[in-house]
Amino acid sequence: MKHKYEIVKEKIINWAINGKYKPHEKIPTESEMMDLFQVSRHTIRRALSDLSSENYLYRIQGSGIYMSDFKQNESYLKKYKNVGVLTTYISNYIFPDIIGGIEDTLYDNSYSLLLSSTRNNMMFENRNLNNLLAHKVDGIIIEPTKSAYQNPNMGYLNNLIEQNVPFITINSAYPQIEVPSLCVNDFKGGQIAAECFFNLGHKNIMGIFKVDDLQGVYRMNGFISECQKNDVLLDQDQIITYLSEETDSVLPGKIKRVINKNEHPTGVFCYNDEIAFMVVNIAHSLDLKVPEDISVIGFDDSQISKIMNPRLTTITHPKQRMGIDAAKLIIKLVNNNNKFSKSDSILYEPELIVRDSTAPID
């Protein structure tokens, strides 16, 4: 649990980060802050003392307390530059490979890494962006949270742009702002999956997509586009959508309801390999065999896809390559004073990896 003075410090630092008080602008008095934060004078003085030593504030005798231009202070300049990395998740699925690529490349170039995650929650994104900015990072690599939605944290990102702090995005992008992004061609991935089913003779197919992230929306659109191209019209049961927080609670029931029908789909394309693993397990619980009764395709070519039984047919994701490329790009932008062009963005072309979870229809 944080001490009261630490909470006060965070709030005052937030004033600096968000530009509520500009450099060399006077901030409220000790008494005013006591009323504002509902704490004692001792707490305020402890917070102000720390902030003064950290070069966020300075005092003018008889005049008051002022916000420092802390980024111009010599003590701010460090031997090693800092890069913040903010992803939706850290320790599971494909994220260790992405982060490993970033970390190795940054360390090889004498950059330090500040790592945090949002758990695909916009409130946590807000908190972590605030923390990263408080650490005075030289550049940031961001995986957008719930990228299909209007982002309430756009103020932080605009503040980065105004302060000329380089940042890039991975796996998705913010449509409202122009910064370099490193993404998979998710639309094409959806097309490839549908095309695979059609080449195997499947017509009664289904797609499962997470729709609070643009990756899922693009994969869904690519899948539907390829179905339309092949004169296959999908009804509402053949496209299952879900939100991040529904993955474990709502989604399994939706899947079971559809594949438990007499005329169940013979091919299922899944948002990622984790969902494909869920589908295979549900199919087995219903005494359906994969791929004899149902063919399944995932996305990401994760470790899960290689150890499943049957081994999973899936669409590639560059993972470690994306991490390496992201780290190289943010270093380039830091060294070049954030000068970038459209050619700095990378769109990785996906490929189909055929394994044992797909087969021609009987």
Residue-wise pLDDT for 111-153, tens only, equals: 888 888 999 999 999 988 888 877 778 999 999 999 999 989 9
Q: What is the pLDDT of residues 332-354, one digit of tens each?
A: 999 999 899 889 999 999 999 99
* CB contact at 8 A, 357 and 291: yes
Report yes or no on 354 lying in a domain: no
At residue 47's C-alpha, the angle toward residues 45 and 51, to 5°, is: 115
Choose one of 72, 90, 119: the last residue of a domain: 72
Q: Cα(85)–Cα(98) distance, rounded to whole angstroms?
A: 11
Tell me the pLDDT tens digit for each residue of 325-336.
999 999 999 999
Same domain membership, residue 141 and residue 196: no
pLDDT at 240: 98
pLDDT at 111: 86
Answer yes or no: are the C-beta atoms of 211 and 220 closer than 8 Å.
yes
Residue 204 and residue 175 share a domain: no
Residue 158 lies in a domain: yes
Residues 88 and 206 placed together within one structural domain of the fold:
no
For the range 227-234, what are the long-range contacts, defined as Cβ-Cβ under 8 Å and sequence gap of 24 or more? 227/194, 230/194, 230/198, 232/198, 232/203, 232/205, 234/205, 234/206, 234/207
Does 159 share its domain with 49? Answer: no
Mark whether 37 and 157 lie in a shared domain: no
Chain segment 266-317, per-residue pLDDT in tens: 999 999 999 999 999 999 999 999 999 999 999 999 999 999 999 999 999 9
Domain-embedded: residue 357: no
Tell me, what's the pLDDT at 7? Answer: 86
* pLDDT score for 63: 86
Q: How many residues comprise the chain? A: 362
Both 193 and 180 in one domain: the answer is: no
Look up residue 289 and give its two tokens. Answer: 């065999």
| Listed residue (163, 238, 254) closest to 203, CA to CA | 238
Is residue 362 in a domain? no
11 Cβ contact list (under 8 Å, min separation 6) = 37
8 Å CB contact between 27 and 56: no
Q: Which of the four pLDDT bands, split at 50, 70 and 90, describes residue 71?
A: low
| Shared-domain flag, residues 131 and 82 | yes
Q: What was the pLDDT predicted at 55?
A: 78
Q: What pLDDT, on the 0 to 100 scale, is given for residue 130?
A: 85
Average confidence (pLDDT) over 83-98: 93
* Angle, vertex CA 356, rays to CA 353 and CA 360, nearest 5: 95
pLDDT digits (tens, 9 = 90+) for 207-252: 999 999 999 999 999 999 999 999 999 998 999 999 999 999 999 9
Specify the higher pLDDT residue, 210 or 51: 210
Provide the domain count of the chain: 3
Span 9-38, average pLDDT:
87
| Inter-CA distances, 92 with 73, 214, 215, Å | 39, 20, 18
pLDDT at 45: 92
pLDDT score at 353: 98
What token pair was written down for 74? Answer: 């010599």
Whichever domain contains 18, its CATH number is 1.10.10.10
Same domain, 260 and 324: no
Residue ending a domain, among 56, 72, 88, is: 72
Q: How high is the pLDDT of residue 13?
A: 83
Could you please report the per-residue DSSP string of 9-37? HHHHHHHHHTTSS-TT-B---HHHHHHHH
Percent of the chain with pLDDT over 70: 96
CB-based contact 238:302 (threshold 8 Å): no
Calculate the CA 312 to chain-centre distance.
24
Which structural domain, as residue segments, surrounds residue 228?
Answer: 186-317
Mean pLDDT (the chain, rounded):
91
Of 55-69, 88-102, 271-285, minimum mean pLDDT range: 55-69
Confidence of residue 73 (pLDDT cuts 50, 70, 90): very low
Indicate whether 269 and 280 sit together in one domain. Answer: yes
Q: Which of 28-32, 154-158, 185-189 has the highest mean pLDDT?
A: 185-189
CB atoms within 10 A of CB 53: 10
355 lies in a domain? no
Q: Which of 201, 207, 233 is nearest to 219 (CA)?
A: 207
The yes-or-no verdict on residue 75 having pLDDT over 50 is no
Bridge-based pairing state of the strands 205-210 and 239-242 = parallel
If asked whether residues 201 and 312 sit together in one domain, one would say: yes
pLDDT of residue 80: 59
Same domain, 242 and 307: yes
Q: If we measure between CA atoms, which residue out of 130, 132, 128, 112 comes closest to residue 120?
A: 128
Neighbours of 282 (CB within 10 A): 20
Q: Report the C-alpha gap between 68 and 80 in whole angstroms.
A: 22
